[in-house]
């Protein structure tokens, strides 16, 4: 039976081309397709290649949901998950996820067990890790805004123990934890360029009512020696809405969430076009057999959009 949102999905409209480069990335006239879901706020999708499935977070629902391409069904993967948020795959294909409730990163092993990887730096706890990426050297980079400790429906109320909001780099091989970006008010989404020479970080402080000159934006940094971010500068201003989460394709284009669509930016920061989505978008990932399918976690559910490009992966460099 078609739901209201499926009807709305049909009304979301086809892709909007704003720069000729967009036509090379998408099939003109294509629209998103709603796959399903009954979430309150969807975040953190990751595609599992071996299962051709997508896991994503319903943060306020404190659940992980699952979409199976083979059976075309949505199911509940786990409940009482301590408010997981963003997730990605490490170089071994294991799921690494951010946990608001545990104030750390966790990893799911091949046998299905999930355990905490790291939750503190210099003896104080993180705030509420939000989104995570893995570099080709195996290090894990994540943002640490305060949403999970200042909003009771997304975690457990708590203190900012180091008094700020940083992006951290964690090396699971050595246990080393270090801040790599310290000048973003509420860092949220993050992604590397295909060659890992650049790190993109969004600021979503506007989500807490603090609309300002730079807090609904994506910033970009030069990555030096694999562990130092320098020369931070504005990459793009997202409007309407926020760059809660985003991914980069193999050509260096940035595909980001916003209030009403997935927006696509060229490596030069020029907006190339938009993919309308009928609900505010939380996050997205590339997946499918050849990493060309865009999976979009948007408020209540998961959407799918075919592209003509490929999501970049640390495995391309590892």
List residues near Mg ion by CB under 5 A.
130-131, 188, 244-245
User: For residues 194 and 245, which CB has a smaller minimum distance to Mg ion in the complex?
Assistant: 245
Beta carbons within 8 Å of 140's beta carbon, 6+ residues apart:
90, 96, 105, 117, 132, 133, 134, 169, 170, 171, 172
3-state SS assignment for residue 22: helix
CB of 130 to Mg ion, least distance (A): 5
User: For residues 186 and 249, which CB has a smaller minimum distance to Mg ion in the complex?
Assistant: 186
User: For residues 15 and 155, which CB has a smaller minimum distance to Mg ion in the complex?
Assistant: 155
Provide the residue count of the chain. Answer: 318
User: For residues 57 and 253, which CB has a smaller minimum distance to Mg ion in the complex?
Assistant: 57
Angle at 249 between CA 243 and CA 255, to 5 degrees: 20
CB of 175 to Mg ion, least distance (A): 25
CB of 50 to Mg ion, least distance (A): 25
Report how far residue 219's alpha carbon sits from residue 201's, in angstroms, rounded to the nearest whole number: 5
Is the CA virtual torsion 245, 103, 194, 224 positive or negative? positive
User: For residues 15 and 46, which CB has a smaller minimum distance to Mg ion in the complex?
Assistant: 46
Report how far residue 277's alpha carbon sits from residue 260's, in angstroms, rounded to the nearest whole number: 6
User: For residues 25 and 263, which CB has a smaller minimum distance to Mg ion in the complex?
Assistant: 263
3-state SS assignment for residue 205: helix
Report how far residue 305's alpha carbon sits from residue 55's, in angstroms, rounded to the nearest whole number: 16
Report how far residue 258's alpha carbon sits from residue 242's, in angstroms, rounded to the nearest whole number: 5
CB of 4 to Mg ion, least distance (A): 26
To which residue do tokens 């457990």 refer? 156
CB of 98 to Mg ion, least distance (A): 8
Q: Residue 291 gets which letter from DSSP?
A: S
CB of 136 to Mg ion, least distance (A): 23
CB of 73 to Mg ion, least distance (A): 26
Beta carbons within 8 Å of 253's beta carbon, 6+ residues apart:
21, 25, 264, 265, 266, 267, 272, 309
User: For residues 15 and 102, which CB has a smaller minimum distance to Mg ion in the complex?
Assistant: 102
Beta carbons within 10 angstroms of residue 149's beta carbon:
22
User: For residues 130 and 256, which CB has a smaller minimum distance to Mg ion in the complex?
Assistant: 130
CB of 143 to Mg ion, least distance (A): 7
């Amino acid at each position: 039976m078609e739901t209201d949102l499926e009807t709305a999905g049909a009304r979301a409209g086809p892709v909007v081309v704003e720069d000729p480069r967009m036509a090379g990335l998408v099939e003109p006239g294509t629209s998103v397709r709603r796959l399903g879901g009954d979430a309150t706020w969807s975040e953190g999708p990751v595609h599992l290649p071996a299962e051709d499935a997508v896991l994503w977070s319903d943060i306020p629902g404190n659940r992980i949901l699952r979409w199976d391409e083979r059976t075309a069904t949505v199911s509940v993967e786990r409940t009482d998950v301590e408010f997981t948020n963003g997730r990605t795959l490490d170089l071994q294909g294991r799921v690494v996820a951010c946990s608001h409730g545990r104030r750390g990163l966790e990893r799911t092993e091949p046998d299905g067990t999930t355990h905490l990887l790291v939750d503190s730096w210099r003896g104080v706890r993180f705030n509420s890790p939000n989104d995570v990426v893995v570099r080709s050297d195996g290090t894990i980079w994540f943002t640490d805004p305060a949403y999970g400790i200042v909003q009771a429906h997304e975690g457990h109320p708590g203190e900012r123990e180091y008094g700020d909001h940083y992006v951290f780099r964690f090396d699971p091989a050595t246990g080393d934890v270090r801040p790599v970006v310290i000048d973003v008010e509420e860092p949220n989404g993050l992604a590397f360029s295909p060659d890992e020479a650049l790190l993109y970080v969004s600021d979503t402080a506007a989500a807490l009512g603090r609309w300002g000159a730079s807090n609904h934006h994506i910033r970009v940094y030069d990555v030096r020696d694999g562990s130092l971010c320098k020369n931070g500068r504005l990459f793009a201003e997202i409007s309407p809405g926020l760059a809660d989460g985003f991914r980069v394709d193999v050509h260096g284009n940035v595909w980001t969430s916003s209030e009403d669509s997935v927006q696509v930016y060229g490596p030069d920061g020029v907006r190339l076009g938009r993919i309308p989505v009928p609900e505010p978008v939380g996050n997205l990932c590339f997946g499918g057999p050849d990493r060309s399918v865009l999976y979009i976690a948007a408020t209540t559910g998961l959407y799918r959009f075919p592209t003509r490009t490929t999501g970049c992966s640390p495995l391309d460099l590892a």
